[in-house]
Structure 1
Amino acid sequence: MDSLTQIVLGAAVGEAVLGRRVGNKAMLYGAIAGTIPDLDVLSKHFVDTVTATEMHRGFSHSIFFSVLFAPVFGWMISKVERRSRATAKDWSWLMFWGLITHPLLDAFTTWGTQLFWPFDIRLAFQSIFVIDPLYTLPFLVCLVLAMFHKRTSAKRRKLNDLGLKISSIYLLLTLVLKAASFYQFDRNLKEQGIDYREMNTRPSPFNTLLWSANIDVGDAYLIADYSFFDTQGIQFKRYPKNRDLLGNLQKNDKLKRLTEISEGWYTIQKKDDRLYFNDLRFGLMSLNPDEERFAFSYLLSPKNGDVKVKEIPRDRGDAKKLLSALWKRIWGN
């Protein structure tokens, strides 16, 4: 999830664990704990694109990391907060829950987390977008209101608990909505006589009313969207896999690793004699069926028997257009 959401979650968890004893400092250190796992993004400044992508939401988002570093951070805080009523053990407990709830929340997103690192298992329920106001804003309001009450206040505790409960219930609701959208995609595929091997569904940006699906039909993928306000059938757009365009590059180590990162959901695209690797898991940058620009795309540049991989930056202008189109699409076709 986005940084603000993780800060809010970490602060609320910190309050739940140690708020009665140390007041707003529990929220402060909980927020810090909720931010720490995402520091893995700094790796992009030291390693190549593929390695940095592999590292994201890896070790720092694991149970192992939380167990290993919670006592370290707890001890450090106890040295800073010498006059606090909390012990090093108390701070360690707060840090553990602040660290571990971060990847647990991320597990509901499309990217997922390697919660069980070093085992190569990426947990991704794909039921919530990385930024979802319906999850974050009620949570944030409850947290801010709680801050203005004394640490011993029962109302403070109730407000914080309310934020945790509302956000948790919403997360569970996203799983129900995901199942309902899957049913609609599957029903429409059957009605149109389309056989498929596998289907992957996910919510569109900033909401859980409009859903997208990637459908594997063998030599191509079908991509479609569905809103719970739709009154017409689902239309599926075909995107050839074009794996043959890779040629000998299919044996390249970086390409194999990119394939694993994308979990096999990718197409190869050729433009102006350049090859692009499109990760389908995060969808397109436009709802226009005639455009084929994906949210995560990598330029492949073969050189001296190897290949250089460069992530294509996303244009803010495209994002604004997409948001406008999404808002209209949410309300039905």
Structure 2
Amino acid sequence: MDSLTQIVLGAAVGEATLGKKVGNKALLYGAIAGTIPDLDILANIFTDTITAIEFHRGFSHSIVFSMLFAPILGWTVNKLERKSNLGWKPWAKLFFWGLFTHPLLDSFTTWGTQLFWPFKARLAFNSIFVIDPLYTLPFLVLTVMVLFYTRDSNTRRRLNTAGLTISTSYLLLTLVIKEVVNNKFERALNDQNIAFSNISTRPAPMTTLLWNANIETPENYLIADYSFFDSAPIHFTVYPKNREAAANIMKYPNVQRLMNIAEGWFILEQKKGQWYFYDLRFGLIPRKNQPPFFAFSYLLKKVNGRITASETPKTGRDANYLLSVLWERIQGKS
């Protein structure tokens, strides 16, 4: 999830853990704990593109990381907050839950997390977009309100509990919505006599009213979207896999690494003599008066007998246009 959401979640967890004993400091240290796992983005500075992608939401988003670093951070903060006279264990408990709930929340997104690192499998429920106002805004308002009450206040505890309860309930609701959407896509495929081997659905940006789907067939991928306000049948757009044409470049180790990262949802395309790798899991970005492009695209270059990858710039994006397209699509097709 986005940084603001993780800060709010961390703060609320900190309050639930130690708020009654240390007041607003619990929210502060909880918010810090909630941001620490995302420091793995620093790998972008020191490593190549593919390694940085593999590292993202890996070790720092695991139970192992939470268990190892919670005592260290707890001991450190106990030294800084000697006046609280709590000892290191209560602080370690705060940091454990602050660190652990971060990847737990991220596991509901499309990228997912390696929660059980060192096992490489990612836990990804694909039920919430990384920015979802319906999750974040009520949670944020209630958490901010907590700041205005003393640590002994029952109202303070009720507000914090309400924030955690409402946000968690919404998160669980997204799983139910996803199941409904999956059934809708599968019925549409059956109604149109389309044979498929795999289907992956995910919510559109900032909403759970509009969903996107990738469908795998032997030779192609089908991409479609569905709004709960649609009255027209679902339309599937065909994208060739190009596996035979790309057979030679798929043999390179770095391309195989990208294929593993994409979990099989990828297209290789050659344009003007250059090969591009598209990760289908994150959908298409619409452009004004131009064809849409895949959100995560990588230019492949052959250097000294090896293939290197660099993410293509997401240029040409008009935020107002994107929001207008999103809003119009949410309202449904007839």
Which residue does 1:178 correspond to in 2? 178
Residues 124-167 of structure 1: CA distance to partner in whole angstroms, max 9, x if unpaired?
A: 00000000000000000000011100001000000000000000
Which residue does 1:165 correspond to in 2? 165
Which residue does 1:127 correspond to in 2? 127
Which residue does 2:17 correspond to in 1? 17
The DSSP-based 3-state class of the residue aligned with 1:122 is coil
Which residue does 1:322 correspond to in 2? 322
Alpha-carbon contact 2:288-2:321 (below 8 Å) kept: no
Residues 1:253 and 2:253 aligned together: yes
Which residue does 2:34 correspond to in 1? 34
Residues 1:92 and 2:88 aligned together: no
Code of the aligned partner of 1:41: I
Once the two structures are TM-superposed, the CA of residue 319 in structure 1 deviates from its matched residue by 4.4
Instruction: Tell me how many residue pairs correspond in the alignment.
Output: 333
Distance 1:85 1:153 in 2: 21
Distance 1:213 1:61 in 2: 26
Code of the aligned partner of 2:73: F
Alpha-carbon contact 1:300-1:309 (below 8 Å) kept: yes
Once the two structures are TM-superposed, the CA of residue 290 in structure 1 deviates from its matched residue by 7.4
Distance 1:4 1:270 in 2: 39
Which residue does 2:295 correspond to in 1? 295
Which residue does 1:67 correspond to in 2? 67
Unaligned ranges ≥5, structure 2: none
Distance 2:289 2:197 in 1: 23
Code of the aligned partner of 1:97: W
Which residue does 1:57 correspond to in 2? 57
Which residue does 1:150 correspond to in 2? 150
Distance 1:122 1:75 in 2: 31
Distance 2:293 2:311 in 1: 13
Distance 1:274 1:190 in 2: 37
The DSSP-based 3-state class of the residue aligned with 2:211 is strand
Residues 17-40 of structure 1: CA distance to partner in whole angstroms, max 9, x if unpaired?
A: 000000000000000000000000
Distance 1:101 1:204 in 2: 23
Once the two structures are TM-superposed, the CA of residue 271 in structure 1 deviates from its matched residue by 1.8
Residues 1:106 and 2:143 aligned together: no
Pick closer, same or farther for the CA change 1:200–1:319 going to 2, 3 Å: farther
Distance 1:246 1:185 in 2: 29
Code of the aligned partner of 2:110: T
Code of the aligned partner of 2:36: I
Pick closer, same or farther for the CA change 1:318–1:195 going to 2, 3 Å: farther
Once the two structures are TM-superposed, the CA of residue 315 in structure 1 deviates from its matched residue by 2.7
Which residue does 2:244 correspond to in 1? 244
Which residue does 2:214 correspond to in 1? 214
Once the two structures are TM-superposed, the CA of residue 317 in structure 1 deviates from its matched residue by 2.5
Which residue does 1:199 correspond to in 2? 199
Once the two structures are TM-superposed, the CA of residue 218 in structure 1 deviates from its matched residue by 1.1
Residues 1:312 and 2:308 aligned together: no
The DSSP-based 3-state class of the residue aligned with 1:308 is strand
Once the two structures are TM-superposed, the CA of residue 292 in structure 1 deviates from its matched residue by 4.2
Once the two structures are TM-superposed, the CA of residue 318 in structure 1 deviates from its matched residue by 4.1
Code of the aligned partner of 1:145: M
Once the two structures are TM-superposed, the CA of residue 236 in structure 1 deviates from its matched residue by 0.4
TM-score by length of 1: 0.97
Code of the aligned partner of 1:216: E
Distance 2:214 2:289 in 1: 14
What percent of counterpart residues are identical?
59
Pick closer, same or farther for the CA change 1:289–1:125 going to 2, 3 Å: farther
TM-score by length of 2: 0.97
Code of the aligned partner of 2:264: G
Alpha-carbon contact 1:286-1:318 (below 8 Å) kept: no
Which residue does 2:331 correspond to in 1? 331
Alpha-carbon contact 2:287-2:317 (below 8 Å) kept: no
Structure 1, 305-314 or 67-76: larger mean CA deviation? 305-314
